[in-house]
Structure 1
């Protein structure tokens, strides 16, 4: 009898979950409609069905390029120049047809490799993917001083919403134009991918700030977001001067970030500018339970200096250099380490700045210092906050009545 009851209960669970998902979808659509504003969103039709490291099932398909409502003369001149140099003038990864490299299966080291890395290694040569949502017009006009680029996933609408209302707000500060983009892949296997895709397309129609590629949004594929964005920037963003790249769960003091940029410009340190919370002398983690576990077969030497991927700043010149370097490096499953490897290829090191706290103000999450607004007022990047914490801290930090102590020089 108990067995029959369990079967009946499990039979009811699936339709209940479906109803819950539909209800959650309606709530999200309602929330998005309340926030609806004028903007241009470009929807794309999903072509290839690519599963990512957890489920590699490659099929051939086409990714359509997003139309541009208008093209400036500057853009036409730039396209002509790039065409003469063999550089694509639009996203050229239109068809996905990338099968595994079967020759790797014969290698001794592959047979010893932890099985969870097999699909990553077998498809590591698959680098650029069709775009599902594109906004080539985002950098047009040459008026963007700073492009804020945020890594996110489809389900984290509340995080994107909080970022748009705070440090990721598109605005002009002291004559410096700030624009924002969110980087996404496809929803992971096992989720209601069709409904989630429709939701993200609807969200993009409202805000017009999403770039989405046809690869699955998994931890190992964060590096794909790096290399695909670098190529996208190389094609479309010739006139943007600086790029801030971060996660969707950080606090950024935008004014302090702009002050840092001005300081670097005045000091003539722009060409190789790559600054953040630098990690030196790190080695691969061998603990199999760790999210960042790397087996010896994959990497068996210390990491080069790299910055925490929670948030870092780079100049457009450095972004283009990293694009070239990234094409010559094998993909690595930890994205911030991969960027350090690209810097190493350029014989460069990241610049450390104490205002970037990608591990929080203190590493003890229970420390009251991590919630002290005066620290946030004087820092640039702090990791890690929930959407509610971000909105609350942003409000407190920008309260004109907030009084913080100042150091005095005796």
Structure 2
């Protein structure tokens, strides 16, 4: 895995990158300060010394954790005792990054034939849980959250997180049911000014208090690490949360429709095994080496189990805890939504297909005018894929009281 190696930057690239990042940093800090002054979402986190990811191999990590402050809610002793009795730690216990490659794999014939781009993933896929750089266990304390909106993002995508916070990720209460939001991040990837970017993300979290960050590099192959680390985090801290929506930071979500779907499932008493999304069935690994989703035969050579597109899906907390248990016995797979499908298969379950989840867009043709039709967005649950500007614009149009949709439509 790339997260274990950080190369030194040499030559003229370093000063050029630093200058450009300094300029970008000033712009972002100014934007964040404006948001802080306007009280968009005023949050306060305790001050803590910043520790780069390299130091975790040598000493205990410095984790920003709101539960450590005296005025923050804490988990009850009863919950802590239950965690210990179930074999689950009462708090995040991966404090030291100490993971070396599995050198025995190098001697195997299939590894020698394997595409080199997968070597680091295979050599380190036994590395599963990582130190937390930023933690917010108080999000789930006291049983306040009914629905947890969990958003996969990366450090540089500040504009997308801002758009989500102003739209479907805005924390609020609907009919007495509280909706909370968290963003999942890794650490900046190699070749970037990691220290400045890390300080920016810590400043962003100081304002909003909605980021979970782990000390693994935020690469495509490491998206599965984001899945398993979140499942463990949820199992530790979120005893009373009922439902989880998990999606990308470039989707449009209609929270009202999402809550209606939850209500229907509860009435039907089908929430225990609830896992709903845009289901993909009878898929096989892509062998096109140019594809982002390319998988060599040496790594996986059979059809995929049914899985839900990672752009957005809904699951119950009961099922999330069972997924956490079975995930620990499965080898990590470089495509995160397929990995969750493997976990479901282990439980003898399959994701439920729902037409309200459109993780490939309303139509697969991006030029189609239907993809920008607000009445579709008003009646769907999840639509993928939108830029930050498109999300803000579509949210404004869909919630305009003057918008009249003559009839419910489906395609």
TM-score, length basis structure 1: 0.92
Distance 1:221 1:389 in 2: 27
Summarize deviations over 1:255-274 as a string: whole Å, max 9, x none. 00010000110010000000
Match of 1:144 in 2: 145
Match of 1:399 in 2: 400
Unaligned runs of 5+ in 2: 1-10
Distance 2:86 2:218 in 1: 33
2:87 is paired with a residue of what secondary structure? coil
Distance 1:72 1:197 in 2: 26
Per-residue deviation, 1:393: 0.1
TM-score, length basis structure 2: 0.92
Does 2:224 correspond to 1:220? no
Per-residue deviation, 1:72: 5.5
Alignment counterpart, residue 62 of structure 2, candidates 45, 61, 64: 64
Does 2:127 correspond to 1:126? yes
Match of 1:303 in 2: 304
1:141 is paired with a residue of what secondary structure? helix
Per-residue deviation, 1:369: 0.5
Does 2:2 correspond to 1:24? no
Summarize deviations over 1:154-206 as a string: whole Å, max 9, x none. 00000000000000000011111000000000000000100000000000000
Match of 2:99 in 1: 98
Match of 1:39 in 2: 43
Q: Is the 8 A contact 2:66 2:138 kept in 1?
A: no
Change (3 A) 1:363 1:199: same
Per-residue deviation, 1:15: 4.3
2:173 is paired with a residue of what secondary structure? strand
Q: Is the 8 A contact 1:306 1:339 kept in 2?
A: yes
Per-residue deviation, 1:380: 0.2
Q: Is the 8 A contact 1:133 1:210 kept in 2?
A: yes
Distance 1:171 1:337 in 2: 32
Distance 1:135 1:301 in 2: 39
Match of 1:4 in 2: none
Summarize deviations over 1:14-61 as a string: whole Å, max 9, x none. 6454322211100100000111143133557435439xxxxxxx9444
Match of 2:249 in 1: 248
Per-residue deviation, 1:372: 0.4
Change (3 A) 1:97 1:346: same
Change (3 A) 1:331 1:13: closer
Q: Is the 8 A contact 1:220 1:334 kept in 2?
A: yes
Q: Is the 8 A contact 2:310 2:336 kept in 1?
A: yes
Distance 2:53 2:107 in 1: 28
2:27 is paired with a residue of what secondary structure? helix
Per-residue deviation, 1:246: 0.3
Q: Is the 8 A contact 1:277 1:352 kept in 2?
A: yes
Distance 1:184 1:44 in 2: 19
Distance 2:408 2:121 in 1: 50
Q: Is the 8 A contact 1:63 1:93 kept in 2?
A: no
Change (3 A) 1:14 1:100: closer
Q: Is the 8 A contact 2:52 2:195 kept in 1?
A: no
Change (3 A) 1:168 1:328: same
Match of 1:356 in 2: 357
Q: How does 1:78-89 map to 2 (within 5 A)?
A: 78-89=79-90
CA RMSD in angstroms, aligned pairs only: 1.8
2:146 is paired with a residue of what secondary structure? strand
Q: How does 1:342-381 map to 2 (within 5 A)?
A: 342-381=343-382
* Structure with max Cα Rg: 1
Q: Is the 8 A contact 2:307 2:351 kept in 1?
A: yes
Distance 2:110 2:279 in 1: 31
Match of 1:107 in 2: 108
Does 2:320 correspond to 1:319? yes
Summarize deviations over 1:74-112 as a string: whole Å, max 9, x none. 622100222233320000001111000000000000000
Distance 2:286 2:176 in 1: 45
